[in-house]
Structure formats: structure tokens, C-alpha cells
Amino acid sequence: MSKERTRILVVDDEEIVRESLSGWLAKDGYTLATAHDGPTALEMLRQSRWSILLVDLKMPGMDGLQVLEASKQIQPDVAAVIMTAYATVETAVEAMKSGAYDYLVKPFDPEELSLMMVKIVAQQALVRENVLLRKVLKRDFHFRDMVSKNPAMHRMFDLARSAAKSQSTILILGESGTGKELLARAIHAESPRQAAPFVAVSCAALTETLLESELFGHEKGSFTGAVARRKGRFEVAHGGTLFLDEIGDISPKLQLDLLRVLEERKLVRVGGTDPIDVDVRIIAATNRDLKKAAADGQFREDLYYRLNVIPILLPPLRERREDIPLLVEHFLEHLSVETDRQIEGVSADALAALMRHDWPGNVRELRNVLERGMVVAKDQLIHPEDLGLSGSGLRTDTSDPGLTLDEVERRHITAVLQHTGGNVTQAARTLDIDRVTLYNKIKKYGLRRGEDDGFSEPPAARS
């Protein structure tokens, strides 16, 4: 390693000391500079990076310890060595307490000075290497907020990075909870459109009429309740990215409307007549087999081909179990900030349980399970019993004969959603109702859903 990169600043009020020390060290190839007092040294620290500070303890005005304390505010990683002519335990303790790397008693043995410099340089090289490795690790395992060390996911990250740079429509395919919206946001953030809005619409949560108005906007009086002109999501996303989640669930009429907008890059608001130019990059997502739906005639083939320009497949969590420890670490780091609770991690048993679980609700379910674990953990570790995974079969306590029908329904829906890790499609299938009905019931019973959360009962209903 080149010693020129090690920049040493000698601070001493005696010129002879500054000269002799800097001259001696310069022959080792370090980059040297001197300052005759504390304020000059601090100014130099503000102006450029220094690796080592050799500061005399006794100087008129600002003494060495004051320089040391102030220097730590400016460059916390600078290694400061206090030089003193008076060797007392008190001085040494005080210097070390103030954050000095070490201290030297003048005159010092050349061997002591030489070894100390070598040691500091080696330590700083290690710190730099560590930072570099962490960066490489982060770059290798991360795509924005997504983490993985699975080779298929890495290929997907590479594809997403390249796709982000283009203007092409992207179709994200993957089970619910695999992070389709997170990926869409990451692509937007990596794209040239990053400064413009990212607008997300869940197509399955709304009825046909509402979704039409939501996407394309409406003119005042275009339908009952349209009391004012409203811009649609396409217009709001102008210049940016429109994320259409659960695209496989839209009605045939909306499929046609959407196809027109994609082809013409123009839309007409509901109840309006004037075409409006829109410049949006579409990222669509679905957990359905859209190709099969197109082949079966349930989804317009032409729209399918319009959307399927760059398909990106997000594998389910059960197919990348090796990511579970990494994801656990990632989520605990985030959750500790959100919940303001410091947890060291998960116990070996708990990790084994997490590795065994099938994760029908994928990464979202894992996050929810960890959030629960974090809340109920009694010590610094999350144990298997904190996760609520044991006997994870569907159980609903609806046996109380005093319950109303609504309460039984609410409890059952909550339990089904928890079991599917918030996967609405899967829950709707289990409950044998359509997704819009399920969304309405979720709304009716006030079951909370965050952007990336699963479902839970409202706080008041928690025991």
C-alpha cells in the first residue's frame, strides 16, 4: 500500500519539533504537514482528510486535549497521538479518555514511534478494507431495498438494473408477498424517471367503474358522486412510473381501455372528450399465469404482449431459502428502528423454524412473523415460541356461542389472512369469495394493511 495515502499532521508550537518530526516521518514516504497551533490544525482538518494527528499536549492557547476533542468532531476517524514532555498517569488517562489513539513521552524512542505509525497505518488499512468489503457485499447482495444471495435473484437484479435504464414496459411475475411493488419501486429509483412520481395502483382492490376513474380520472358530473374534475393515476404519474399491481384481475373493458392508452399514449377522462397526452413508464405485476389466461381467452392477448416486453420473475421464498438468514438480519435491522426495540437476533432454534416454514405469504409473511417476534420477545433474542409459527395450520377461535355472525366472519378472515401472510388472492381462494368482496370485508372490519404488511386486527381488538 502506498504510504503517500497516509497523511500526517504534526501540531506543535515549537518549530524545531515540527521540523524534526515531520522530516523523520517524511523519509518513510508519508505525506506530512505541520501546524503551529490548535486553531490552524483544526482549519487544516476542515479543509482536507488526515490520517494521523500528532499533537503536543502543552501549547499556548488551545492545548492538545482541546485540539483532540475538536478534531474528533471534524474527522472522527483520525488517529490522534498526544505528545507530552511530562509523563504522568493522569495525562495518559486524560488523553485516552479524550479519544487519543495513544500518547508519546518526549523524547520518544525511534522504535516506539516507528512501530506506532506502522500499527496505525495497518489498522486504518483494515478499517478501509472493511468499509470496502461491506460496500461490495452490499452492492452484491442488494438491489435498493431488496436483498438476496440467490443466483436466480442476482440474475433478476441484473436484468432489473438494465431494464430500469430503458423506457420499456416491465411485467413482474411472482406470488403475492414476493416483493413485486418493492422491485417496481427499485426499478423506478434506478431509472432516468427517478425524480418524477412513482404511482402504485392495486387493480384488484377496486370495482371496474372505480378503477376506470382511478386510472383515467373523470370530469365533473360524469357519474353520480363525481362532484369535481379529478385527475387519474396516469396523469398523476406523468413523467414517472405507473405501477399496476394485480393487472391480471382487470375487467375486459378496462383491458381494452388500457391497451389504447399504451398504444396511443393518450387518454380521455371518464365523461370527457379531449385526449390528454401521458408520458408514463408502465410496470405491471401479477401473481397469475397471464400467458395461460391470454391463451384461455381470459386476458387480452394483445394487451399481454404489450405488457410482457421485459418479463421479470420473482421467485417465491421457498425456492430461495438460503436468503432467509440474510432477510432476517435485514428486517430486524429495519424493524429495530421502526419499533425502537433492540434485538440481537433470532435464536438458532427460531432460525431453524424459519428455514423449515413453507412461506405461502413469501417475504411479506417473513417480515410479519419477525415483527410479531420482535414485539413479543421477552429478551434480546427471538425464540421459536415468539414467532407464532408452531402448528401454523389454520385455526380460528369462533367456537364461542355468544359471538355474532359478523364477529365470527371477522375472526375467520383475520385468521385466513394471517395464514396466507397477507396474500389476498390465496385468502380469497380459501374463503371461496372474489378478491373485491374480500377487500370490501377487510375494509368493513378495519383489518389493517400497510404497504408491505400483511393483515392484522385493529389495535383495539388485540387482547
* Min dist. Cβ of residue 133 to another protein (A): 24
Q: Is 398 in the site for another protein (CB under 8 A)?
A: no
Rule CB under 8 A: choose which of 19, 43, 77, 277 binds another protein.
19
CB 309 within 8 A of CB 265: no
* Min dist. Cβ of residue 121 to another protein (A): 11
**Backbone φ and ψ of 171, nearest 5°:** -115, 115
- For another protein, the closer of residues 1 and 126 by Cβ is 1
Rule CB under 8 A: choose which of 8, 9, 17, 120 binds another protein.
17
Q: What pairing do the DSSP bridges indicate for beta strands 52-56 and 79-84?
A: parallel
Residues 6+ apart with CB under 8 A from 125: 1
Separation CA 104–CA 110 (nearest Å) = 11
Closest CA to 168 of 39, 280, 316, 65: 280
Site for another protein in 29-48 (CB under 8 A): 29
- For another protein, the closer of residues 119 and 356 by Cβ is 119
Q: Is 21 in the site for another protein (CB under 8 A)?
A: yes
Determine how many CB atoms are found less than 10 A away from the CB of residue 292: 10
Separation CA 347–CA 349 (nearest Å) = 5
Rule CB under 8 A: choose which of 23, 151, 275, 446 binds another protein.
23
Grid cell, residue 128, equals 478501509
Report DSSP state, residue 318.
Answer: G
Beta bridge partners of residue 346, listed in sequence order: 382
Q: What pairing do the DSSP bridges indicate for beta strands 31-35 and 7-11?
A: parallel
* Min dist. Cβ of residue 9 to another protein (A): 15
Separation CA 204–CA 244 (nearest Å) = 10
Interface with another protein (CB under 8 A), residue total: 21
* Min dist. Cβ of residue 113 to another protein (A): 7
- Name the one range near another protein by CB under 8 A: 12-20, 177-185, 370-378, 431-439: 12-20
- Name the one range near another protein by CB under 8 A: 11-19, 162-170, 351-359, 455-463: 11-19
- For another protein, the closer of residues 24 and 223 by Cβ is 24
Q: Is 192 in the site for another protein (CB under 8 A)?
A: no
Grid cell, residue 214, equals 382511478
Site for another protein in 67-126 (CB under 8 A): 83, 106-111, 113-114
- For another protein, the closer of residues 110 and 393 by Cβ is 110
* Three-state DSSP class for residue 280: coil
Q: Which position has the grid cell 396511443? A: 264
Rule CB under 8 A: choose which of 24, 86, 223, 305 binds another protein.
24
What burial letters (b/e) apply to 359-374, b meaning 16+ CB within 10 Å?
bbbbbbbbbbbbbbbb
- For another protein, the closer of residues 19 and 158 by Cβ is 19
* Min dist. Cβ of residue 26 to another protein (A): 6
- For another protein, the closer of residues 17 and 203 by Cβ is 17
**Backbone φ and ψ of 122, nearest 5°:** -65, -45
- For another protein, the closer of residues 115 and 210 by Cβ is 115
Return the H-helix or E-strand segment holding 201. Answer: strand 198-202
- For another protein, the closer of residues 29 and 39 by Cβ is 29
- For another protein, the closer of residues 20 and 255 by Cβ is 20
Separation CA 153–CA 136 (nearest Å) = 17
Residues that bind another protein (CB under 8 A): 14, 16-17, 19-21, 23-24, 26-29, 83, 106-111, 113-114
